[in-house]
Each structure stands twice: as C-alpha cells, then as structure tokens.
Structure 1
Amino acid sequence: MGAVSAVDRDRLPKQDRSRATRQRLLEAAVSCLAEHGWAGSTVSVVAERAGVSRGAAQHHFPTREDLFTAAVEYVAEERSRALRALFPQGAGGDRTAVVAALVDLYTGPMFRAALHLWVAASNEEQLRPRVTELEARVGRETHRIAVELLGADESVPGVRESVQGLLDMARGLGLANLLTDDGARRERVVAQWAGLLDEKLR
C-alpha cells in the first residue's frame, strides 16, 4: 500500500468540513421550516442559522427546493435509524412499545417541518413532484420497518391494511398534537391499537 499523498491529506479534512457544513444546513433548514413555515424559510435565513455564507449554502443546494426536500429526507432517515436503535434485537413481541414508537415519529419538529413542506408543495408546482416522490419513499420505508418490528405477515388478508391503518392513525395523532399537547388521549389510542393489532397479527 502506497503512502497517502499530500493532495489526499488536504482533501480529507476538506471533505469532512463539507459534510459538516451540509449537515448543519440540513438541520437548520428543518428547524426553520418547523418554526417559520415555507414562506419564512429562505436559503439566506437557513444559511445564517447554520453559520455559513449564502454562497456556501448554494454550493451544496443550488435551489431552495433542493435544500428543503433534502432536509426533510435527511431527518426522515434519522428517524428510521432512531426507530431501529430502539429495538436493535427486534421488538420481541412488545407491540405496544412498537405502536408508541411509530406514533412518536409523527410528533415533534420533523413532522411539523414535513407538514409545512406538504402545504407548500400543494401550491408550488416546482416543489410538488419532489415532495410526492419523497413522501412515497419515506412512506414505503416506514411501512417496511413497521411490518418488521410488529412481526406482521402481510400474506394474511387484512394485515397490510392494518399496518397501514396504524401509520395513517399515527399521522392523524401527529396533526392533533400540533395545536395542543394530546399526550393523554394518544396513550389511550396507542393501547387500543396495540390490542387490535395483537388480535389481528396473532
């Protein structure tokens, strides 16, 4: 194996810096979108929050649409990793814990940011196809993780619909939580859904 050249040594720190800048921009974009909505979230606002120049932001993300779709995708991937980290050995049959964890995916800043992006996409022709494709991909991945953690056999009639119903219900609970803390009611609904799934997946 040959020695690492001076060019390679110089390049590695630069690549690390570039990755760190990109991640700061993505995290800042999600925060801005959650707090200010689409109208108040410009590339300049995000760049300032991330502590980088507008030029640096546009180097990574040439358009506003690029930045915000990438930001929501980034955090969706982080959510998937976090969900898997909760059950590294599988859920072990604890469906209540799985249902609660899935519902938790639809509360907090990431869901709020995604919601602003959906609303913007409904009015912005340039944004709509990107968000539609992104949501389809995120939805498939979340469904796949849910099936795996619940130990669901989708060859059984009605099981696929039951899992999808859980995810649709979780999104609805996330919407309800945007205006008021819906924690107490959410706990009761989670317990009920876990019971229903136990019966269906038994």
Structure 2
Amino acid sequence: MRARLLEATVDCLVERGFGGTSTTLVSERAGVSRGAQLHHFPTKNALVLAAVEHLTEVRGAELAAAAARLPGGPRRTRAVLRMLGDHFASPVFTAALELWVAARTDEHLMAAVAPLEQRVGRETHRMTVELLGADESVPGVRELVQATLDLVRGLGLANTISDDARRRGRILDQWADTLDAALAGSPSATEGKAS
C-alpha cells in the first residue's frame, strides 16, 4: 500500500504539479481509502517527503539499469548522452523538478530535497565519469563532465514545456563529437570506448 501511495504521488506531481497534488487525490489514484492513506502519511508534507526519498531511489535505479544496457565502441559517447538525455526528459525527472520548485520556498521540503539531490548529483556525476571513461585528473575534464550534466538537465527542463526530442538529439550528437575530441587523449576514455 505504501508503494502504491508513493507511485501515485509521483504520478500526481507529474500530471498536476506540486500545487495540484493533494492527499485526497493521491489516495484516490492509489486506490486506497483516505483513512489508510492518513495512517501511512498523515499530512501532504509527510507524503511528499516520502515521495522525495522514493524518487531518489527510482532515479538511481533507472539510471543504473540504463547504464547497464549501453553499448561499447565508437558510438558509446552518443549512447551515454542519449541515456542521460532520456533520463532528464522522463516523468521521474519532471516529478523531481516539481519538488525542486516547491522546495525553493518551503524550508521543510528543502531540508529533505537538498541532501538527496546532492547525493543523486554526486552519483550521476560519478556514473557519467565511469561511462565516458573520463580521466578527471586531466585539467578541464571534470568541468566537461559537469557541463554535460548541466546540458542534459537543461534540455530536460526545456522538454517540460514541449516535446523537444528532435532538437535534443541534434544537440547531443554535436556534444558527443565535442566530448570525443576533448577526451581523445585520456587513457581511461580510450579504454572505455574499446569495451
């Protein structure tokens, strides 16, 4: 029942935003009684805070699963960028975005969201370094990886307004060429492309 409530909360955040998400709507969507929902989560904040943790786990699991399916070879950089771009254009990212915006003006929500987002950010950065075979001891490589994550996050944000898949694809193709050229001298990158 708890899992159904958390999934329903994420769905409501995506479809209705933070302001349009209510405990009543979540319990209806989850197919549980209002009393059962109140037993698990007595307030909207309690429900949303649990959803923040749930979203963190879901985002990590989705990225790890997508990373495990990546091909090796000369198009690997493009595949990594496509995976990241798809993740940041997904409903899970949209729900997280709703929480970021709400947390900006809600100190209790910010106290829950900020450390989890920092953890997700560090893990996503670490995974991207590994997937690209990037050697961050080389000057500028860490900044390139962070620029990559900022780029895909920004493209994901643009996607919340309209379907931006075609433009996103063109931008990521160009960025893959840029990354390949910048990382070409990195011994780790060369090993990652061969695998």
- Aligned-residue Cα RMSD (Å) equals 1.9
Are 1:73 and 1:134, in contact at CA under 8 Å, matched by a contact in 2? yes
Does the CA-based 8 Å contact 2:55-2:96 persist in structure 1?
Answer: no
1:158 is matched with: 140
Question: 2:106 pairs with 124, 133, 152, which one?
Answer: 124
CA contact (8 A) 1:120 1:127 kept: yes
TM-fit CA distance, 1:141: 1.3
Helix, strand or coil for the counterpart of 2:72? coil
Q: Which moved more, 1:160-169 or 1:78-87?
A: 78-87
2:44 to 64, 89, 96: 64
**How many angstroms does 1:31 deviate by?**
0.6
Which of 23, 26, 34 does residue 46 from structure 1 map onto?
A: 26
Q: CA deviation at 1:181?
A: 1.3
Distance in 1 (alpha carbons) for counterparts of 2:17 and 2:154: 20
| Percentage of pairs with the same residue | 56
Aligned residue for 2:107, secondary structure, equals coil
Q: Is this contact kept in 1: 2:134–2:141, CA < 8 A? A: yes
* Equivalent in 65, 75, 87 of residue 85 of structure 1: 65
How many angstroms apart in 1 are the aligned matches of 2:124 and 2:168?
20
Shift in CA distance, 126/88, structure 1 to aligned 2, threshold 3 Å: closer
Residue 108 of structure 1, CA deviation = 2.5
Q: Name the TM-score, length of structure 2 as normaliser.
A: 0.84
Amino acid at match of 2:130: E
- Aligned-partner residue type, residue 142 of structure 2: R
Q: Name structure 2 gaps, 5 residues minimum.
A: 185-195
Q: 1:152–1:159: 8 Å Cα contact kept in structure 2? A: yes
Q: How many residues get paired?
A: 182
Partner secondary structure for residue 172 of structure 2:
helix
Give the structure 1 partner of residue 177 of structure 2.
195
Q: Which has the larger radius of gyration?
A: 1
Q: Give the TM-score normalised by the residue count of structure 1.
A: 0.82
Matched with 2:130 is 148
**1:123 aligns to what SS in structure 2?**
coil
| Alpha-carbon spacing, 1:190–1:22, altered in 2? closer, same or farther (3 Å) | same
Given that 1:91 and 1:149 are in contact with CA atoms closer than 8 Å, whether structure 2 keeps it comes out as no
Secondary structure at 2:108 match in 1: coil
